[in-house]
Amino acid sequence: MLAAALGVVLLSSIVYSAFLLGLVFLSIAGFYILLNAGFVAAAQVLVYVGAVNVLILFGIMLVNKQEDFRPLPHALLGKLATGAVCAGLFALLGTTVVSTPWAISSEVAIGDRAIEAIGMHFFSDFLLPFELASVLLLIALVGAIILARREFIPDLDAAAEEQVLTLPERPRELVAAGVNESDSE
Amino acid sequence: MQLEYYLLLAAALFCIGVFGLVTSRNAIRVLMSIELMLNAVNINLMAFSNYLDPQGIKGQVFAVFVITIAAAEAAVGLAIVLSIYRNRDTVDMEQFNLLKW
């Protein structure tokens, strides 16, 4: 899974990295099943693999232009510095994780009754975030449509407005008749 | 000891996401890196929920919220990328300087 994640970041072909991203999402869903969370694993597969990954693929297909990026000065230096910073961050997180004494609970995991527990949380003590999330989804829906909508420039004159109401074949005949008349004159 | 493995995995995934976020030139790859980071956070939440709080699974609730926000973020981010591509005719992150000055 980590190799696939590295491929997402490092591969030069962005279509391959999008498919590897789907592989990463699927393996993360597998980890969720190992962590006794079947519902969230199903949500992960549905939302990430089914929606977000397909959305990213559509975005790639809409945007895909084989362009060679203009090389930046000190690009390799910047990548090395970023890699060093990320490795340092990983080392910091790793030492923190290993050295912290975790209070691991000895209770039995809730298992398949997790869905009921999640539903109880949603409608009792997490009711306000739940509603806020629904409002945010609505706002994101409307905002994404407005942002991605192709804006037509209205250059309609009166004749064009009349032609809107006619059948699709109709204006073609009218234009042809006009051309014939001008020819005969 | 299982918990530490999951946390290390999530930390590695998060660092890969940060690296991709900083070094990518393509805007869509930046979005994919953000998804990787959100998934790393989700793995953390689920591991804590399973090992520290296995009865009242609040971590799974938070993970569902994070998935929701990530889906909304991906949709809005792709819409922004599409509209920038339509206006500027490129997806190069180094040429997006609309908000720079």
Asked casually if ipTM beats, i.e. exceeds, 0.90, the reply is no
Of A9, A17, A104, the CB nearest to B51: A104
The answer to whether the Cβ–Cβ distance between A107 and B14 falls below 8 Å is: no
* Closest CA of chain A from B21, distance in Å: 8
CB B28 within 8 Å of CB B91: yes
Q: Is B60 on the interface with A (CB under 8 A)?
A: yes
Nearest residue of A to residue B20 by CA position?
Answer: A9
SS3 state at B92: strand
Q: Is B26 helix (H, G, I), strand (E, B) or coil?
A: strand
Question: Are the CB atoms for A14 and B26 separated by under 8 Å?
Answer: yes
C-alpha closest to that of B72 among B80, B84, B60, B62 = B80
| Chain A residues with CB-CB distance to B22 below 8 A | 82
Do the Cβ atoms of B83 and A148 come within 8 Å? Answer: yes
Instruction: Please tell me the predicted confidence (pLDDT) of residue A162.
Output: 55
Identity of the residue in A5, A48, A140 whose CB atom sits nearest the CB atom of B76: A140
Contact between A117 and B56 (Cβ < 8 Å): yes
Question: A159 falls in which pLDDT band (50, 70, 90)?
Answer: low
Tens of pLDDT, residue by residue over A62-81, are 887 666 667 777 778 888 99
